[in-house]
């Protein structure tokens, strides 16, 4: 009995050690990603997503149709993390890498249960394969790492139920699958894969096996429809009925599927020249020979089925079936807006499917090594493979550390509009507006319907005071269905360019489109203020405050206007205007915890307008100190100038 316990303990210890080895391997290879920043649409998922940033967003994540897709488990994980480290990107990267490490261990245990030769090595190859970087080093793809974790638990539960007949394992499998779908619905084909696993393990699929998949298929159907409804509600999905769209997509899938499968297999076995975005392939659905790659794939699968009694064919058929079923949702047979405007293929789309070819290749390699290689040569080949893949993944993960490195490398692989838009924003953030404009222009040359590029052109033209060009760019973006906030941006550009009539038209349309948006009124007021129309500007600020009475920026703007132009912006009584300005400025400073030097400068200006110069100087001293601590010398210098006036017993009046 003691020997049996010791033996069992030894096995458990070995499993723990080998599992820990996989985790350490993944963590080391992904070290560059731990310090990575935000990439591409990470802001849409997290930093600019009120569902994540606001405490009340948790309810909306689950029960309000406010996202283009329905993945509440993923958003909930981000919501929790935002409470922990806000917009500190390394925290999210670390969690994503940990999820991937856990997935690597689960893949190993699944392959062991399937009896795949070299299961540990296969899991290690998958865990540090360069193709997985797009899912692991990109926070927005938390959807992948999280959904696969629960998908793996579902597979393990399914096999445990088959082995023991205990219903708790079946319930575990079904519940895990539902959670996986709620993280990302791309696992909708898992119910088709589960019987294939049963066939591989027992050599047959029974009617009972198929019946057991019915609840899984029902979950896929329901949550698939929910996702489609979300996409259609937000204009990112088809406008006609789902069945009609699927039927219309069949020719595209018939052409794309074979090419995509070939592309993915090539990247699996030669993982170089990887990119975030590869671009849209031209698909000539009217040419019969365009369907040839897909027919070749079908012929290969049919041939493997014909020879399935042979061990090599059975293994190949199993791997090919799992691979194709995992890829099925993104082979072009289903509607996908991303495929039409961004890319026909993507590395992160084969995060799950990659397991199949890797496991097959490693199993074949292990068997061949046992037969043909002497001694420990096979282990040396395996170690060399891991070292090579680790180096490639380490380098690729480093490229994902910054947007600049990512998009620069992307353009070296594929000249696509998304990469140019990415660099546009990098250059703009560095203050190089001319370079940003050049990149955005290249983006619209490649894809005239690239609304984000037109928006970026508007922003950067505004920054360099090319207002007419900015308005034209914004107008194109509006015509292409850009957001209602573009009226506000176009209005600012028109106002800054001196075209008040046009500016007011844009602002009025923006305000009508967004009746509960205070920022439109605030910017409208700012534009009027810059044009010297102080009373009208104050009216717009008051409208904004009627919508959001605690917005510190609007409180500060109205306070500054009333204190710097008393008697011109209010009701004509300079004393009353100055007194109101003090109250507004105090509220703005309180909202900013007395830590915003610009707001304190406004309060000092308002106090001086009332004649309380001693208090104005005291507040200005505090504002100067904060500006200097923040290393904002231009603002500090401006406040010092105001303070000198207050010391001389004079209010601040702009020229």
**Are 602 and 559 within 8 A, CB to CB?**
yes
Burial 104-131 (b: 16+ CB within 10 A, else e): bbbbbbbbebbebbbbbbbbbbbbbbbb
**Are 623 and 600 within 8 A, CB to CB?**
yes
**CATH code, domain carrying 568:** 1.25.40.10
* SS3 label, residue 550: coil
Token digits for 238?
Answer: 């088809």
Altogether, the residues listed in the chain come to a count of 655
What's the average pLDDT block by block, 10 residues per block, for the chain (655 residues)? 46 83 96 92 86 88 76 94 92 96 97 95 97 95 96 96 93 96 93 95 90 94 80 51 61 89 96 95 88 95 94 95 95 77 93 97 90 78 93 96 95 96 95 96 96 96 95 95 89 88 87 86 83 86 90 92 80 82 92 90 92 92 92 91 92 83
Q: pLDDT digit string (tens) for 25-67?
A: 999 999 999 999 999 888 888 888 889 998 888 888 888 756 6
Q: What is the pLDDT of residue 607?
A: 93
Closest CA to 496 of 479, 474, 471, 519: 471
Q: What is the pLDDT of residue 252?
A: 83
Q: What is the pLDDT of residue 34?
A: 93
In a domain, residue 75? The reply is no
Q: What is the pLDDT of residue 443?
A: 97
In a domain, residue 540? The reply is yes
Global pTM value: 0.83
Taking the C-alpha atoms of residue 448 and residue 466, their distance in angstroms, rounded to an integer, is: 21
Token digits for 179?
Answer: 């959670």
Q: What is the pLDDT of residue 6?
A: 41
DSSP string covering 412-475: HH---HHHHHHHHHHHHHTT-HHHHHHHHHHHHHH-TT-HHHHHHHHHHHHHTT-HHHHHHHHH
**Are 503 and 462 within 8 A, CB to CB?**
no
* Largest CA-CA distance found in the chain, in angstroms, rounded: 99
Orientation of helix 500-513 relative to helix 518-530, angle to 10°: 170
In a domain, residue 460? The reply is yes
Q: pLDDT digit string (tens) for 236-278?
A: 444 455 555 566 667 888 899 999 999 999 999 999 999 999 9
Q: Residue 572 sits in which domain range?
A: 414-647
In a domain, residue 127? The reply is no
**Are 67 and 51 within 8 A, CB to CB?**
yes
Token digits for 112?
Answer: 């062991």
Q: What is the pLDDT of residue 66?
A: 65
Q: What is the pLDDT of residue 339?
A: 80
Taking the C-alpha atoms of residue 627 and residue 604, their distance in angstroms, rounded to an integer, is: 14
In a domain, residue 597? The reply is yes
User: In this structure, is the dihedral angle defined by the CA atoms of residues 59, 64, 67 and 70, taken in order, positive or negative?
Assistant: positive
In a domain, residue 268? The reply is no
In a domain, residue 601? The reply is yes
Taking the C-alpha atoms of residue 108 and residue 22, their distance in angstroms, rounded to an integer, is: 9
φ, ψ of residue 318 in degrees (nearest 5): -60, -50
In a domain, residue 95? The reply is no
Q: pLDDT digit string (tens) for 167-216?
A: 999 999 999 999 999 999 889 999 999 999 999 999 889 899 899 999 99
Taking the C-alpha atoms of residue 124 and residue 441, their distance in angstroms, rounded to an integer, is: 43
Torsion-angle region of residue 567: left (phi > 0), alpha (psi -120 to 50) or beta?
left
Taking the C-alpha atoms of residue 321 and residue 356, their distance in angstroms, rounded to an integer, is: 9
Which run of H or of E encompasses 559?
helix 552-564
Residue partners of 325: CB distance under 8 A and separation at least 6: 189, 192, 193, 196
Q: What is the pLDDT of residue 95?
A: 96
Question: Residue 157 to residues 79, 102, 138, 316, 553: CA-CA distances in angstroms?
Answer: 28, 16, 29, 25, 54
Domain count of the fold of the chain = 1
Taking the C-alpha atoms of residue 454 and residue 475, their distance in angstroms, rounded to an integer, is: 9
């Amino acid at each position: 009995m003691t020997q049996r316990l010791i033996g069992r303990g030894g096995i458990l210890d070995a499993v723990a050690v080998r599992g820990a080895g996989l985790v350490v391997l993944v963590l080391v290879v992904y070290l560059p990603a731990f310090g990575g920043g935000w990439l591409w649409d990470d802001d849409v998922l997290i930093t600019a997503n009120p569902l994540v940033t606001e405490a009340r967003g948790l309810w909306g994540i689950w029960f309000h149709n406010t996202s283009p897709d329905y993945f509440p488990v993923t958003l909930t994980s981000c919501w929790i993390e935002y409470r922990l480290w806000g917009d500190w990107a390394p925290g999210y990267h670390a969690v994503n890498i940990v999820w991937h490490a856990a997935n690597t261990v689960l893949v190993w245990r699944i392959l062991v249960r399937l009896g795949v030769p070299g299961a540990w090595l296969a899991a290690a190859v998958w865990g540090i394969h360069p193709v997985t970087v797009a899912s692991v080093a990109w926070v927005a793809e938390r959807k992948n790492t999280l959904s696969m974790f629960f998908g793996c638990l579902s597979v393990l539960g399914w096999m445990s139920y088959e082995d023991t007949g205990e219903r708790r394992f079946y319930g575990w499998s079904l519940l895990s699958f539902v959670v996986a779908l709620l993280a990302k619905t791309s696992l909708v084909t898992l119910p088709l894969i589960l019987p294939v696993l049963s066939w591989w393990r027992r050599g047959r699929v029974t009617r009972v096996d198929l019946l057991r998949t019915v609840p899984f298929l029902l979950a896929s159907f329901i949550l698939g429809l929910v996702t489609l409804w979300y996409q259609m509600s937000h204009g990112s999905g088809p406008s006609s009925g789902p069945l009609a769209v699927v039927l219309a997509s069949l020719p595209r899938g018939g052409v794309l599927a074979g090419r995509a499968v070939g592309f993915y297999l090539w990247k699996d076995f030669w993982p170089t020249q990887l990119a975030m975005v590869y671009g849209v392939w031209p698909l000539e659905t009217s040419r019969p020979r365009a369907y040839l790659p897909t027919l070749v794939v079908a012929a290969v699968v049919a041939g493997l089925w014909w020879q399935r009694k042979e061990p090599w064919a059975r293994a190949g058929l199993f791997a090919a079936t799992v691979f194709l079923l995992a890829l099925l949702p993104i082979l072009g047979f289903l509607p996908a807006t991303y495929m039409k405007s961004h890319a026909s293929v993507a590395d992160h789309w084969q995060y799950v499917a990659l397991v199949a070819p890797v496991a097959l290749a490693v199993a074949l390699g292990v068997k061949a090594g046992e037969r043909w290689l002497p001694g420990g040569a096979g282990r040396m080949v395996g170690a060399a493979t891991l070292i090579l893949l680790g180096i490639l993944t380490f380098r690729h993960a480093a490229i994902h550390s910054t947007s600049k490195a990512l998009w620069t490398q992307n353009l070296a692989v594929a000249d696509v509009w998304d990469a140019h838009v990415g660099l546009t924003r990098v250059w703009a953030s560095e203050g190089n507006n001319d370079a940003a404009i050049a990149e955005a222009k290249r983006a619209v040359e490649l894809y005239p319907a690239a609304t984000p590029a037109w928006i970026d052109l508007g922003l950067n033209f505004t920054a360099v005071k090319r207002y007419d060009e900015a308005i034209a760019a914004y107008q194109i973006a509006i015509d292409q269905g850009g957001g209602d906030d573009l009226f506000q941006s176009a209005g600012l550009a028109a106002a800054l360019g001196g075209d008040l009539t046009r500016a007011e038209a844009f602002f009025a349309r923006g305000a009508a489109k967004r009746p509960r948006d205070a920022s439109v009124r605030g910017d409208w007021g700012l534009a009027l203020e810059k044009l010297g129309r102080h009373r009208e500007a104050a009216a717009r600020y008051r409208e904004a405050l009627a919508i959001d009475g605690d917005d510190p920026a609007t409180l500060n703007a109205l306070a500054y206007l009333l204190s710097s132009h008393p008697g011109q912006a209010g009701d004509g009584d300079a004393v009353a205007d100055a007194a109101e300005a003090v109250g507004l400025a105090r509220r703005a400073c309180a909202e900013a915890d007395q830590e915003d030097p610009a707001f304190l400068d406004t309060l000092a200006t308002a106090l001086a307008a009332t004649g309380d110069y001693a208090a104005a100087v005291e507040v200005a001293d505090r504002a100067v100190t904060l500006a200097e601590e923040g290393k904002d010398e231009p603002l500090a210098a401006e406040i010092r100038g105001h303070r000198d006036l207050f010391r001389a017993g004079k209010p601040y009046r702009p020229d």
